Structure 1
Amino acid sequence: MSEPTRAITAYWDAAAAAFDDEPDHGLRQEHTRAAWARLLSSWLPAGPAGVLDVGCGTGSLSLLLAEAGHRVTGVDLAPRMVERAEAKLAAAGLTGRFLVGDAADPPTGQERFDVLLCRHLLWTLPDPGAALRAWVARLVPGGRLVLVEGRWREAGESGVPYVAGAESLPWHGGITAGELAAAVRPLVSGLRIEPLSGDAELWGGPVTDERYALIARI
């Protein structure tokens, strides 16, 4: 493991204990949880699907997916995040597969998925373009790429400064919907943008920055 990767792993491991304190991370409030469940239902196929949740964190979205009957594989670089995701699904009596690994290049071999879901991860990646190409390659023909992203007021997600050199990351601070659509469009057969900033229930309160979902077909 390289020194930058060790630093990033340590950052998110340290963030794991308090990660779910954020309303949109832990989904502890029923109205926030229900709002995300509705969105996922509108983005994913109606029947059971194989879903790859990259940068799954503590597994809150993975849990919603499993509750809806989907087959979930979660990937996260931080072992403590993965431990919490596994415990979350086990406590609910649900099954899911969780892997410790680089979400930008998921350790899933030749397996292909119906849906790849990613939330609030692209700003952390040293080569987001390569990650997008790797994610599309993990999807079956006709599969769906679902990216929940934004242009943040603050780049950090845990309330503490991110790793040294983060300001040089290509999409540090997030990316606008137009910029992300331009990056994804050559890789897919079609896409749409769904604005999310105006739905306070998703975030535990009103937000003033740009938040959206990009839903693409392969």
Structure 2
Amino acid sequence: MPETSASIASFWDAFAASFDEEADHGLRDPEVRVAWAERLHAWMPSFPADVLDLGCGTGSLSLVLAEQGHRPVGVDLAPLMIEQARRKLTAAGFDAVMLVGDASNPPAEAGTSFDVILSRHLLWTLPAPQEALRRWIGLLRPGGRLVLIEGRWASAEPAEDQSYEVESEAMPWMGGVEAERLAQALRPLVKTLHVEPLLDPALWGRPIQDERYAVVAFT
């Protein structure tokens, strides 16, 4: 594993046990869970879909997708996060595939053809996010969609941005990426896209002051 990837995996492994304590991570608060379930339902196809959940963490969104009748496959670089995700999905009665791997270049065993690729707050951790976007779009079936839940929070949460033991130049979108910048990167690669602000405090378990949004792009 490259040094940068190893640093990222180690960082998130250290938080695996407590990760779900954050309202938008564990979705333990009923109001937060309902808010995310409603958004996911709106973003997903009306039919049971094959969904690649990249940077899936402890699998909370994958679990919601499975409950809605979709077929999620999760990929995360942090082994302890994937352990949590597997336990979570299994305990709920779902036989979903949860894999340790580089979300920017998903392992072949995850599959090569999906209806939807989903990621939440992942792009800022990637050394080459624009390359990753091109790679992800190549995994979508004709008419597939990319759902990117992102934000720009560097000014609001500087401590998290500075937690990786890597040079800032290695993470061009460290601290998050503005909606328009992400949309500009995607427009040459997709047929259509729209940006949806995610400002509802119910999604985060608290009011937020920074930029939060989803980009939904169609191939």
TM-score (norm 1): 0.95
Structure 2 equivalent of residue 60 of structure 1: 60
> Which 4+ runs in 1 deviate beyond 6 A?
none
Cα distance between partner residues in 1 of 2:95 and 2:202: 27
Which digits, 9 at most, give the CA deviation of each residue in 1:130-157, with x for residues without a partner?
Answer: 1001110110010000000000122665
Structure 1 equivalent of residue 47 of structure 2: 47
| Closer/same/farther in 2, CA of residues 209 and 166 from structure 1, 3 Å limit | farther
Structure 2 equivalent of residue 151 of structure 1: 152
Cα distance between partner residues in 2 of 1:84 and 1:126: 25
Q: CA deviation at 1:9?
A: 1.2
Structure 1 equivalent of residue 206 of structure 2: 205
| Percentage of identical aligned residues | 57
Q: CA deviation at 1:166?
A: 4.7
Structure 1 equivalent of residue 176 of structure 2: 174
Which digits, 9 at most, give the CA deviation of each residue in 1:116-143, with x for residues without a partner?
Answer: 0000000011000010011101100100
Q: Counterpart of 1:20 in 2: which secondary structure? A: helix
Q: Counterpart of 1:17 in 2: which secondary structure? A: coil
Cα distance between partner residues in 1 of 2:88 and 2:189: 34
Cα distance between partner residues in 1 of 2:214 and 2:7: 29
Q: Counterpart of 1:183 in 2: which secondary structure? A: helix
Q: Counterpart of 2:21 in 1: which secondary structure? A: coil
Cα distance between partner residues in 1 of 2:55 and 2:180: 22
Q: Which amino acid aligns with 1:29?
A: D
Is residue 4–residue 166 contact of structure 2 (8 Å, CA) maintained in 1?
no
Is residue 60–residue 85 contact of structure 2 (8 Å, CA) maintained in 1?
yes
Structure 1 equivalent of residue 96 of structure 2: 96
Cα distance between partner residues in 1 of 2:143 and 2:212: 26
Q: CA deviation at 1:93?
A: 1.0
- Structure 1: where are the runs of 5+ without partners? none
Structure 2 equivalent of residue 140 of structure 1: 141
Cα distance between partner residues in 1 of 2:21 and 2:158: 17
Q: Counterpart of 2:17 in 1: which secondary structure? A: helix
Cα distance between partner residues in 2 of 1:181 and 1:53: 20
| Closer/same/farther in 2, CA of residues 155 and 60 from structure 1, 3 Å limit | farther
The alignment's C-alpha RMSD in Å is 1.4
Q: Which amino acid aligns with 1:206?
A: P
Structure 1 equivalent of residue 187 of structure 2: 185
Cα distance between partner residues in 2 of 1:141 and 1:156: 40
Q: Which amino acid aligns with 1:22?
A: E
TM-score (norm 2): 0.95
Structure 1 equivalent of residue 116 of structure 2: 115
Tell me, yes or no, if structure 1 residue 165 matches structure 2 residue 181. Answer: no
Q: Which amino acid aligns with 1:124?
A: T
Q: CA deviation at 1:108?
A: 2.9
